[in-house]
Structure formats: structure tokens, C-alpha cells
Chains A and B, each alone.
Chain A
Amino acid sequence: MIKDIVWIYYYASLILITFMSIYGIAVRPNLLKKIIMLSILSDTANMLAVLLGYHILSPKPPVYPGGTFSTTQFPSQEQLSTFAKYAVDPIPQVLVVTAIVIGLAVLVFLSFVAVLIYRRYGTLDMRVVSKKARHEVK
């Protein structure tokens, strides 16, 4: 029962952070704060994916059979089956590694755009920037 409550709490807190970051992206006028909120949003999505791959572990942490650094013998099929029963699902983690890289790429590009906007308009407040840009078009 307590386990279930903890689990619901995990999901609810992630959804809460999602709401807050969407609020920040939509309402805050400062471009830098929008970018920070966007990175928080992508991190929350990654966290959700990792949480989907998690499951209740054994009392002892699972230890990889066979030596990790110097290999004298390879682990057998039974050892690996026991390990696979207790280890965490690796596939969401693989997806998250990819997603982190894409998120970083977006962040790098957005920060350069922010730098460029600041050089051009002297401010990062999007209300002022859009007003100035409209003025320029006319």
C-alpha cells in the first residue's frame, strides 16, 4: 500500500514539474527563463522515461557476474538470468541518452540565438523585442 502511494507521488510530482515548466515557457517574458524552463521540461520527460524502466529491486544490489575490469572467465547463462531478473530495464535509459544529446543540441542553438537577439536589440524581454521587430518591419 505504502509502495503504491510512493509510486503515485513519483508520477504526480513529475506531472507537477511539467505543468510548472509549461507555465514558465508560456508566461515568463524573459527569453533566458524560457530556455531554462524548456531544459527543465526535457529533463522531466527523461526522468519519466527512466522511471518507466525502474522496478522494485532485490534487497542486495545486483552485481554483474564475471570480472568487469580484467576478464578471466565469462559468466554463465544461469548467472546472467539471475542478474537479468534483478537489474533495471536498460532500454529507456538508452532512449534517454539519445534524448539528452538532442536536448543539449537544442539548448546550444537556443543560447546562441539568445545571444544574437541580445546583441541586436539590447534586451531579452520578448515583449520589447517583438515590439521593436514590428517597428523595424514597418
Chain B
Amino acid sequence: MARISSIIGVSILLFILYIAYTGAITPMDLILGAIASVIIASFTADLVVEKAGKLVNIKRWCYTIAYAILYLTVIEAKAHWDVVKRILHPKVPVNPSIVRIPYEVESDYAKTTIANSITNTPGTVVVDVDDKRKVFYVHWIDAKVVEDEKARKEVSFTFEKYAKKIFD
């Protein structure tokens, strides 16, 4: 039962992706897309989805959209501006460190969201991750603080707040 519901959820997502990629809604496209997404979901669903119930939770989707808008406009712009200033400055001022950043989320998707958000902002790159001790090792171009908790507040506080709401 869990398997069937996860297949249905994944195939709906794949169908939306197919239609977005194709850019046409003729009946032929709809039929072919439905068939293909069900077939592909049947052999990938158990890899992709852990709990199918999370897929249909409206609140999580709302948080996803809010996070996407916030991240793609404000946070990215700030980080880009910072690194661009450093590149164009005549002395190239850098103050790099590899800092430990602990996290408290459980699911794989939440961890990945935090790590990708950290890496996608210029200025911070996740170098390694330890699953048992729940820390990221982050190369930070301007390490103002090197203590774990303070660095966490500087780098990944917002990401973690939203990742917890979306995926945990």
C-alpha cells in the first residue's frame, strides 16, 4: 500500500515535470506522459520517497515556495555582492577557514537542502559531512567566527529553520 501511494505521488511529480519540459498539452502528450511517468515511477519510487504522506502536505509546499522566493532573491543577492566585491577589490581580501557547522535535522532531504543552500551561496562550500556526529565542514571565504555554534548562526540558521519545516 505504501509502495503504491509513493508510486502515485512520484508519477504525478514526474508528469508535471514532463508537461513543463514539453511545453504542450495536446492529448497525445498527456497520454504519453502519463504512461511514461507511471512506468518510470514504478522502478524509481522506492529510492526517491520515504514517506508518501509528506508529498501531499500543503503546508510543506507553501513553506517550499516561501523559502525559494526568499533564498533566490535576498540571500543569493547578498552573497553574490559580497564575493563580487572581494573579486574586484585590488587586494583580493580573503579570510578563509574550514569551520564545523552542526545541524539537527533527521531526513536525508533536509540535510541535502541545508548543504545545497550553503554551497549555492557564493562564499561557503561544504567540504565534507559527518553523518554520525551531525556536522558539516564548510570552507568559508570570510570566517568572522570559527566557533561551531556562532558559525552556525552566521551561515546556516535560516536554511535549517526552513529545511526543518519543509522536510522533517
Chain A residues near B (Cβ < 8 Å): 69-70
Contact = CB atoms under 8 A, between A and B. Distances in A.
B24 interface: yes
B29 interface: yes
A88 to B, nearest CB: 22
Contacts of A70: 24, 26
Interface string B1-40: 0000000000000000000000010100100000000000
Q: Main SS of the interface on chain B?
A: loop
Contacts of A69: 24, 26, 29
* 4 smallest beta-carbon distances between A and B, as pairs: A69-B24, A70-B26, A69-B26, A70-B24
Nearest to B24: A69
Contacts of B29: 69
A70 B26 CA distance: 6
5 contacts: A69-B24, A69-B26, A69-B29, A70-B24, A70-B26
A105 B29 CA distance: 32
A69 B28 CA distance: 10
Interface in B26-69: 26, 29
A69 B24 CA distance: 7
